[in-house]
Amino acid sequence: MRNVHERRIAAPVEEVGALLADVGRPDDRLWPAHDWMPMTLDRPVGVGARGGHDDIRYSVIAYEPGRRVVFGFEPPTLLTGRHALEVEPLPDGTALMRHVLEAQPHGAYRLLLPLVIRWIHDAVIEDLLDRAELAMGRAPARPAAWSPWVRLLRRLNGMPAWRVAVRSADVTAAMTAAAGLPRADFQDAFAVRLPQGASPDVRGCYESLVSASTPRWMTALIRIRRLLARAMRLDTADWKPGTSPFVLLQVTDDFLVAGSDDRHLNFRTVLELQDASGSGPDLVVATFVQRHNLAGRAYFALVLPFHRLIVPAMLRRVAARTPVATR
């Protein structure tokens, strides 16, 4: 088996290569330990350092500081071969990070490799490459997304099926006042914890929310919503992913308000960044709807299930692509 993942990182090769020295340390900036089993080594990266993740064991068999680290599999792991992290300079002054796995499975791993291990491996490495970009202060253009099979495997292993937890939140009086609707027939709010060190910029969060890449299932829901809006001749019928169907109405240090007024209903979305006591700010997105007539009630009843799927999915994407302060 040979498996290769690589990513162009928009940063100098010296800065990207420095991430290799973090591997296996408690403050590892590369390994996605918050979502997967942690990777540990018994000493700083160097030839002879031993460790692994979960039940996969290996040792460092080659190390070139800032350029590559190579691990060889060890018993009881039913793999022979190696995997390596490499960093190369690119002509434009950026860097290429590559992970290469070359291994031969034995015993039960002959079955587990194509059914389980390969899928988990691919998800972990793509998350690792996302973290490399975030460590350089740059958000991934398309953050890695776990496939339905990977989410199922995580559930079977007692792990959360989603990388970022989105929860329902209270709609505060301040958010209601910021929305500015004289009467709201519907309101709800969702919140997500942004990474520790994320910039407290509510406008930047809104721009990330609007431009967040969408998985195929979300694009399909948006198309259905567009058909319903066109049938009812709503002004926001032609909204497409990557743009906002709403007008930016107000931005303060605390809130951002966007919305639209249509013949059937008025809509407001309010974003607020709330202090989470040093563990990363909470981004809260509240929705307010004022329906004017029967058509407005019918339309919103049809799109409400989509709303409750799409908003949390977009928040997960925003949290996944939020860069933090580099050290």
Q: pLDDT tens digits, residue range 3-40?
A: 999 999 999 999 999 999 999 998 898 998 878 988 99
User: Nearest-CA neighbor of 1 among 155, 152, 118, 137?
Assistant: 118
Kindly report, residue by residue over 162-187, the tens digit of the pLDDT.
777 788 999 999 999 999 998 899 99
63 token code pair? 């190390």
Residue 51 neighbours by CB under 8 Å, 6+ apart: 24, 39, 40, 41, 42, 57, 58, 59
**What's the pLDDT score for residue 327?**
46
Res 241 pLDDT > 70: no
Greater confidence (315 vs 68) lies with 68
Average pLDDT, the chain: 86
pLDDT band at 57 (very low <50, low <70, confident <90, very high): very high
Question: Taking phi first (over 0 means left), then psi (-120 to 50 degrees means alpha), and beta for anything else, what does residue 215 get?
Answer: beta
- What is the helix (H) or strand (E) element at residue 231, kind and residue range? helix 216-231
User: Biggest alpha carbon distance in the chain?
Assistant: 72
To the nearest 10 degrees (0 to 180), the angle between helices 294-320 and 202-211 is 100
Q: Are 171 and 286 in contact (CB under 8 A)?
A: yes
**What's the pLDDT score for residue 227?**
74
